[in-house]
C-alpha cells in the first residue's frame, strides 16, 4: 500500500521545502565578501535565538562537536568539574570530561527524572574548587526537561561556570542566556532549527566564560574558540556554505513566527501527545516531561523493537526508540521543529493502529480524540 514517510524523531527533524531549496543554490567560495556577509547575518540571528549579545560561533559538525568544543575550551587536565548524568547525553558530558582528564564529580539522576537545583548546590558547597558545571536543558534520551534558570542562579554565585547542552532544547524550550546567567550553551542544526544535520553552535556569554576559556590549558586546535573569536564573524576554517544558506532561511522563518509563539506551539503539541498517550492507557516515561518529545513506556506485552519496525515499515512513521539501557523499553515521539497539528494527529493514529496490530487492543480513536481536543483548545 502507498505510504508517505513522516519523521517524528528528535533529530534529524523534518525540513521545510524553502529551507531545502536554499541548499540547492550554487556553492560560493567561502572567503568572499558575499559569504562573510551571510555568516555575519547568521551570527546575528543566532544571538536572538540564544538570547545573548555576546558571541555565537558556527561549527561545521554535529551537536557533539559543540559539546567537545565546550569541554576542550573550559577543562584543563585535573580540573574539578560537575557533570549531571540523567540520560544518554548526560553520559556524553561525562565521557567527554573523562577524555580531557577532568576530575569529575558526578550527579547521577534516575533516567526519567530531572536534576534538582539542591543537588547541584550541595555538590558545589562540598567542592568549592569546581571550575565547570555541565548539565542539559532537554535530555533527549528520556524526554526530561531540567530547570536551568535556578541552576544558573546557584552556579552564578560561585567561581564556576555553567555549560548547558541545549542541542535539542533550544527554540523548543525557553532559554535566556543573559537574563539567567548561562555562561556557555550549545545547539545543533538538525533539531528545532528545521535544518539538515551538519552545523553546531556554541554561544559564549560574558566575561566569566571568556576568562575560563583563556585560562584553560587543554590541547585544542579545530575547536579552539579563541581562533573563532579572533575571526568573528568569519570562520577560521572552511565554512559549510550551503548549510549557512539554509541556516539564514531557517532563522528568517523563526523570527517571522517569533520565539515566544514557537515555545508555545511546542508546549501545546507535547501536551496534546501526552494526553493522547494517557487516553489509550499507555504511560508517559518522564517524571518531568519537556516540550521536545514524549517518551512512552512500552507495555510489557509489546515488543518495543518490533513496534518501531511496524510504525516505520508499514505506516511510514518514524519514531525513536530508547537509547542505552532504555532500548526496547520506551519509544519517543518528537514534536520538534517543522511539525504541525496534522502531524501530531497522524502520529497518534499510527501509535493506536500499530499497537492494535501487535495485539495490544487500545481503544482506537481515543488517543486521536484527546490530541484533537488539546490542539483545538490551544487554538483558542
pLDDT at position 128 is 98
Output the tens digit of pLDDT for each of the chain's 380 residues. 788 999 999 999 999 999 999 999 999 999 999 999 999 999 999 999 999 999 999 999 999 999 999 999 999 999 999 999 999 999 999 999 999 999 999 999 999 999 999 999 999 999 999 999 999 999 999 999 999 999 999 999 999 999 999 999 999 999 999 999 999 999 999 999 999 999 999 999 999 999 999 999 999 999 999 999 999 999 999 999 999 999 999 999 999 999 999 999 999 999 999 999 999 999 999 999 999 999 999 999 999 999 999 999 999 999 999 999 999 999 999 999 999 999 999 999 999 999 999 999 999 999 999 999 999 997 75
Under DSSP, the state recorded for 312 is I
Alpha helices (H) in 202-332, listed in sequence order: 207-215, 225-231, 241-257, 259-279, 304-309
For 161, other C-beta atoms within 10 Å of its C-beta total 28
Nearest 10 degrees: Cα torsion 15, 139, 282, 319: 30
Class of domain 17-257: alpha beta
User: What is the rounded CA–CA span in Å between residue 89 and residue 98?
Assistant: 14
pLDDT at position 1 is 79
* DSSP E strands, 281-355: 283-284, 293-297, 317-318, 320-321, 330-334
pLDDT at position 158 is 98
Of 134, 137, 190, 140, the C-alpha closest to 166 is: 137
Q: How far is CA 168 from CA 9, 131, 152, 218, 316, in A?
A: 11, 25, 19, 27, 23
pTM of the model: 0.97
CATH number of 6-13+258-379: 3.90.1150.10
- Cβ atoms 143, 290 nearer than 8 A: yes
pLDDT at position 380 is 59
- Cβ atoms 136, 90 nearer than 8 A: yes
Q: Which grid coordinates are listed for 353? A: 493502529
pLDDT at position 378 is 76
pLDDT at position 91 is 97
User: What is the rounded CA–CA span in Å between residue 100 and residue 179?
Assistant: 30
Quick check: do 6-13+258-379 and 17-257 share a fold? no
User: What is the rounded CA–CA span in Å between residue 172 and residue 228?
Assistant: 27
The domain spans of the chain are: 6-13+258-379, 17-257
Amino acid at each position: 500500500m502507498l505510504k508517505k514517510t513522516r519523521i517524528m524523531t528528535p533529530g534529524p527533524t523534518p525540513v521545510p521545502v524553502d529551507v531545502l531549496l536554499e541548499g540547492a543554490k550554487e556553492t560560493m567560495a567561502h572567503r568572499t565578501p558575499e559569504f562573510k556577509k551571510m555568516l555575519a547575518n547568521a551570527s546575528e540571528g543566532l544571538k536572538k535565538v540564544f538570547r545573548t549579545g555576546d558571541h555565537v560561533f558556527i561549527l561545521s559538525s554535529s551537536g557533539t562537536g559543540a559539546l567537545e568544543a565546550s569541554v576542550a575550551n573550559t577543562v584543563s587536565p585535573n580540573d574539578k568539574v560537575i557533570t549531571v548524568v540523567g540520560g544518554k547525553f548526560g553520559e556524553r558530558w561525562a565521557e567527554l570530561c573523562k577524555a580531557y582528564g577532568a576530575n569529575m564529580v558526578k550527579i547521577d539522576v534516575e533516567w526519567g527524572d530531572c536534576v534538582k537545583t539542591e543537588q547541584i548546590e550541595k555538590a558545589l558547597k562540598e567542592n568549592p574548587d569546581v571550575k565547570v558545571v555541565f548539565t542539559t536543558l532537554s535530555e533527549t534520551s528520556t524526554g526530561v526537561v531540567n530547570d536551568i534558570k535556578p541552576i544558573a542562579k546557584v552556579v552564578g554565585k560561585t567561581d564556576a561556570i555553567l555549560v548547558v547542552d541545549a542541542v535539542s532544547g533550544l527554540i523548543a524550550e525557553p532559554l535566556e542566556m543573559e537574563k539567567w546567567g548561562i555562561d556557555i550553551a550549545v545547539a545543533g542544526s538538525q533539531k528545532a532549527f528545521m535544518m539538515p544535520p551538519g552545523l553546531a553552535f556554541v554561544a559564549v556569554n560574558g566575561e566569566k566564560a571568556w576568562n575560563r576559556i583563556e585560562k584553560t590549558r587543554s590541547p585544542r586546535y579545530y575547536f579552539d574558540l579563541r581562533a573563532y573569536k579572533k575571526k568573528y564573524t568569519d570562520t577560521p576554517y572552511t565554512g559549510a556554505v550551503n548549510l549557512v544558506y539554509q541556516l539564514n532561511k531557517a532563522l528568517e522563518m523563526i523570527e517571522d513566527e517569533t520565539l515566544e509563539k514557537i515555545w508555545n506551539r511546542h508546549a501545546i503539541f507535547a501536551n496534546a501527545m501526552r494526553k493522547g498517550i494517557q487516553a489509550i492507557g499507555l504511560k508517559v516515561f518522564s517524571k518531568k516531561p519537556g516540550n521536545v518529545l514524549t517518551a512512552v513506556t512500552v507495555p510489557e506485552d509489546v515488543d518495543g523493537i518490533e513496534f518501531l519496525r511496524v510504525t516505520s515499515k508499514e505506516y511510514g512513521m518514524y519514531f525513536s526508540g530508547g537509547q542505552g539501557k532504555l532500548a526496547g523499553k520506551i519509544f519517543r515521539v518528537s514534536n520538534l521543529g517543522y511539525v504541525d497539528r496534522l502531524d501530531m494527529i497522524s502520529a497518534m493514529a499510527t501509535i493506536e493502529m500499530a499497537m492494535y496490530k501487535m495485539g495490544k487492543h487500545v481503544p482506537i480513536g481515543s488517543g486521536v480524540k484527546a490530541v484533537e481536543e488539546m490542539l483545538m483548545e490551544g487554538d483558542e
